[in-house]
């Protein structure tokens, strides 16, 4: 009788194919995770932009309550758009302004309607821009609507151009971030 030959398997390590399969699975999982995190990051920026726009509208309404008018889209010193909005809702107005405190002359006293954090504003030229999470200035304008009787109403509009950072000539597109007001 011949002794039965036993095969011995060396189980001290992994084969090259097993290692490549594991590395491939890990790479696939990391790619999926990166995609999900990228979408989550953009969704977070959209939420931050909406919050900033809501903050602007809150300041606009506070200004409207105090002065019985919406902030104009231009200032006497020539600032326009979002820089004008920042001037009106970010400045303190006083009958006796103190220039060193950045106060502006007005018939009534009004503290700044909105306080912005340092990452939400950026000095530019003579004024200050309110910037979205993509570091682009917000857009501010005042639309004038006339009803059938000829009466005019003013409607402030604040929005972000969104991730593409392109203002499409005042047209609101699907990539823009706007809040219905």
Q: Which residues contact 123 (CB under 8 A, 6 or more apart)?
A: 129
Quick one: pLDDT at residue 38? 83
Quick one: pLDDT at residue 177? 79
133 neighbors 45 (Cβ within 8 angstroms): yes
Q: How far apart are CA 160 and CA 167, in angstroms?
A: 8
Determine the average pLDDT of the residues in 153-158.
91
Quick one: pLDDT at residue 167? 73
Mean pLDDT of the residues in the chain: 86
Where are the chain's structural domains?
A: 19-178
DSSP type of residue 137: B
Determine the average pLDDT of the residues in 158-166.
83
Tell the residue number behind the tokens 């106060």, with chain if given: 103
């Amino acid at each position: 009788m011949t002794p039965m030959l036993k095969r011995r398997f060396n189980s001290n390590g992994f084969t090259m194919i097993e290692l490549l399969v594991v590395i491939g699975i890990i790479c696939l999982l990391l790619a999926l995770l990166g995609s999900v995190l990228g979408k989550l990051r953009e969704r977070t920026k959209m939420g931050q932009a909406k919050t900033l726009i809501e903050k602007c509208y809150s300041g606009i309404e506070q200004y409207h309550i105090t002065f019985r008018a919406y902030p104009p889209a231009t200032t006497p010193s020539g600032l326009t758009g979002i820089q004008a909005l920042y001037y009106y809702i970010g400045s303190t107005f006083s009958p006796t302004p103190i220039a060193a405190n950045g106060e502006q002359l007005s018939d009534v006293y009004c503290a700044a309607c909105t306080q912005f954090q340092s990452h939400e504003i950026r000095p530019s030229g003579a004024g200050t821009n309110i910037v979205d999470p993509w570091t682009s200035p917000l857009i501010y304008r005042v639309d004038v609507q006339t009803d059938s009787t000829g009466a005019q109403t003013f409607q402030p509009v604040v929005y972000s151009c969104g991730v593409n950072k392109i203002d499409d000539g005042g047209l609101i597109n699907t990539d823009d971030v706007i809040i219905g007001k």
